[in-house]
Structure 1
Amino acid sequence: MTTLTPSDAHALVSAAMTRAGHTAAEAGIIADHLLDRELRGLSFGGLARALSVVERIRATPEPPGPIRVAAETAVSATLDGGDQVGYLVGMRALDLAVAKARAHGIAVVCARNTWCTGVFSYYLEKAADAGLAGMIAGSGYTVVAPHGGAEGRFGTNPIAFGFPSTPAPVIWDIGTASVMYGEVLRKARLGAESAPGQAYDATGVPTLDPAAALEGAFGVWGGHKGSGPAIVVQRLGMMAGAAADPPGVSDRGFFVVLVDPGVLADPEDYRRTVAAFADAVRATRPTDGGGAVRVPFDRSAACRDAALRRGTIEVSAAVVEAMCREAGLAAHAGGTAHG
């Protein structure tokens, strides 16, 4: 592993993204998102994902176009992402949704023609900081098999809900696949095996080989109960105009709904009520031999707080070395290799 400070990790991603063709401002937005994931212990979508972004850009012959508003009303908008990376499109969609929800109490903003939109709790934490509750869903290309099948029919299709609270928001963010695409990519990059029961190869045979899984299909999360929400998310992405079966890493659907609780009730009372309910959940008597009951987002937020207090993160040496090459920097720049 390699030890990096958060500032060094941010600079490394920014340098790689700038070298790949992004402006300094765009590179900073991408680096902010990936660093947050790394701080929260979500390494499969942290610095390793920057390598996937570079590879996608390099493999695409046509340069991306501008992010533009394709349709708009006072409380809604549809963005055409111009085939820009989703970290940029997602932030544009969120900013637009926040502005509309603040002005009118509710907003529905969606985007198409984008890819790699990242972790939705990242956006919902920002929405909650603005006093807004909301939901984000994202469709993708067909890499996940429905329950009972072994061929891809929908994306890993995450869905997340966020609620403003005191002192921190309550956020629930899940993928509807048994494993997320970035995690499979990371394991393939590092030569690690997948967990049993997560994926099938191209012939429909269960596999532990992440490279074979990328050519086949992932399993769905939660059996038939997970298959239903995955289908719903794919349809929400289609509402943005995204394809039902987009080719490769492209045309991801991004669907955001934000609500201002203040148009329905007293917003501060709502924050206090959400916080009290979260505390009541945490105070639930645990099962014999079990640990304390947690509320969604507790673990990753605590992980981030600990990393920021420590002032360092641990990143795979292979990922850091590859990132340094993409950034045109010396290996292990800003960090100390060990282990």
Structure 2
Amino acid sequence: MKIRIAEARALVADVMSTYGYDAEQSAIISDHLIDTELRGFSQGGLARAVTLTERLDDSEPFGPITTIQETVSSLAIDGGDQAGYIVARELTERLIDKCETSAAVVGTARNTWCTGMFSYYLEILAAAGLMGFIASSGGPYVAPYGASEARFGTNPVAFGFPTDKDPVIWDIGTSSLMLADLTIAKKHGAELPTGLAFTASGETTTDPSAVLDGGTITTWGGHKGSGLALAAQLLGMMAGSAIAPPWLTDMGFFMFVVDPAALSPDFPARASEFVEIMHATRPVDRDQPVRVPFERSIALREQMRAAGEFEVEDRFVEALRGAASRRPA
């Protein structure tokens, strides 16, 4: 079905309010999920909102976000088991404030889950003229290179750079497949590519059900991706999170922010110049010009906003409407 953007935004906010989030917090979660949807990653949009309700239904009431440690250039917070969309957004905003007096700041968050797309926070940083790096750890679902037993989370990492125009943002997971890839493949009865997954007993498999039933997936990029996943795991642990937390609990979130003006005042202009140099690079396929990360995402979002609506599976909308109907009067 098609749903109007404004309707979807209001629906998600209404649902979040049933779980104790106030109007501002509900709007933050909704904005992040809808932005993800508009940029073409539907697994992280209304489908993810349904996952949030399932997790919140099985959770104890969450607590407040608290400060663990703080200096002029660092901040460590405890998310109180709140959804990461709220926790990571607060960390981002507080680090931006710190950059008014410190050229480089670092922050972490623990006791949180589902922080969403890192590019969302990096876009906020870039709008403030700041460069950012983010990494996160989570529950074990990914095997190190050469192994068939899970030790890593899907452990995304992301960089964001301000320019005179749109930011350059590179945001990836360090696993060869994401959990959403497995659930979608299972739903459609599709097999996984060979060599990317193992059963619970360590046998290679292309069956997504076998992977979801205690199996594991490989890292992206072989031993290089495995090293990157390890680094993300350790950075997440720097937040004080558990080494191997259960799924959707206590993800470790790490953010490093730099004010380029303290190092190179004309950096945004030179970054824009380099983007144009990238665009002018001779492509292998003349019908596929070279682009930089995040460009496709921005273009798709603008197209979706102009249309005013997007396509979504009926079951997700129905599930959310059912959850919203439980809203207290």
Q: TM-score, normalised by structure 1?
A: 0.91
Aligned letter for 1:321? E
What does residue 38 of structure 1 align with? 37
Residue 67 of structure 2 aligns to a residue whose secondary structure is strand
C-alpha distance 290-227 of structure 1, shift in aligned 2 (>3 A): farther
Structure 1, residues 277-297: CA drift from partner, whole Å, max 9, x if none? Answer: 111112111114651111011
Whether the aligned pair in 1 keeps the contact of 2:118 and 2:171 (CA below 8 Å) is yes
What does residue 308 of structure 1 align with? 305
What does residue 84 of structure 2 align with? 86
Aligned letter for 1:285? R
Alpha-carbon deviation of 1:70?
0.3
What does residue 98 of structure 1 align with? 96
C-alpha distance 192-20 of structure 1, shift in aligned 2 (>3 A): farther
Distance 1:296 1:24 in 2: 33
Alpha-carbon deviation of 1:58?
1.2
What does residue 178 of structure 2 align with? 180
Alpha-carbon deviation of 1:209?
4.0
Alpha-carbon deviation of 1:147?
1.5
Alpha-carbon deviation of 1:22?
1.9
Residue 124 of structure 2 aligns to a residue whose secondary structure is helix
What does residue 223 of structure 1 align with? 222
C-alpha distance 194-243 of structure 1, shift in aligned 2 (>3 A): farther
Whether the aligned pair in 2 keeps the contact of 1:48 and 1:186 (CA below 8 Å) is no
Alpha-carbon deviation of 1:164?
0.6
Structure 1, residues 1-25: CA drift from partner, whole Å, max 9, x if none? Answer: x111111111111111112332222
What does residue 69 of structure 1 align with? 67
Aligned letter for 1:42? F
What does residue 126 of structure 2 align with? 128
Alpha-carbon deviation of 1:184?
3.2
Counting only pairs closer than 5 Å after superposition, residues 315-326 of structure 1 correspond to structure 2 as 315-326=312-323
Distance 1:196 1:42 in 2: 20
Residue 69 of structure 2 aligns to a residue whose secondary structure is strand
What does residue 213 of structure 1 align with? 211
Alpha-carbon deviation of 1:185?
4.1
Alpha-carbon deviation of 1:305?
0.9
Aligned letter for 1:55? E
Whether the aligned pair in 1 keeps the contact of 2:192 and 2:208 (CA below 8 Å) is no
Counting only pairs closer than 5 Å after superposition, residues 139-178 of structure 1 correspond to structure 2 as 139-178=137-176
- Residue 251 (1) aligns with residue 250 (2): yes
Alpha-carbon deviation of 1:250?
0.8
Distance 2:175 2:263 in 1: 34
Alpha-carbon deviation of 1:194?
5.4
Residue 110 of structure 2 aligns to a residue whose secondary structure is strand
Alpha-carbon deviation of 1:248?
2.5
Whether the aligned pair in 2 keeps the contact of 1:141 and 1:248 (CA below 8 Å) is yes
Residue 196 of structure 1 aligns to a residue whose secondary structure is coil
Structure 1, residues 234-280: CA drift from partner, whole Å, max 9, x if none? Answer: 000111111121123211010011111111121xx211110111111
Distance 1:320 1:179 in 2: 26
Whether the aligned pair in 1 keeps the contact of 2:73 and 2:98 (CA below 8 Å) is yes
Alpha-carbon deviation of 1:125?
0.2
Gap runs ≥5 in structure 1? 330-339
C-alpha distance 26-96 of structure 1, shift in aligned 2 (>3 A): same
Alpha-carbon deviation of 1:318?
2.0
Residue 99 of structure 2 aligns to a residue whose secondary structure is helix
Name the count of aligned residue pairs.
324
Alpha-carbon deviation of 1:122?
0.3
Aligned letter for 2:109? A
Identity fraction in percent: 47
Whether the aligned pair in 2 keeps the contact of 1:160 and 1:172 (CA below 8 Å) is yes
C-alpha distance 200-321 of structure 1, shift in aligned 2 (>3 A): farther
What does residue 336 of structure 1 align with? none
What does residue 333 of structure 1 align with? none
Distance 1:279 1:228 in 2: 32
Alpha-carbon deviation of 1:320?
1.7
- Residue 25 (1) aligns with residue 49 (2): no
Alpha-carbon deviation of 1:312?
1.2
Alpha-carbon deviation of 1:321?
1.9
Distance 2:57 2:179 in 1: 19
Gap runs ≥5 in structure 2? none
Whether the aligned pair in 2 keeps the contact of 1:184 and 1:194 (CA below 8 Å) is no
C-alpha distance 26-43 of structure 1, shift in aligned 2 (>3 A): same
What does residue 259 of structure 2 align with? 260
What does residue 293 of structure 2 align with? 296
Whether the aligned pair in 2 keeps the contact of 1:49 and 1:182 (CA below 8 Å) is no
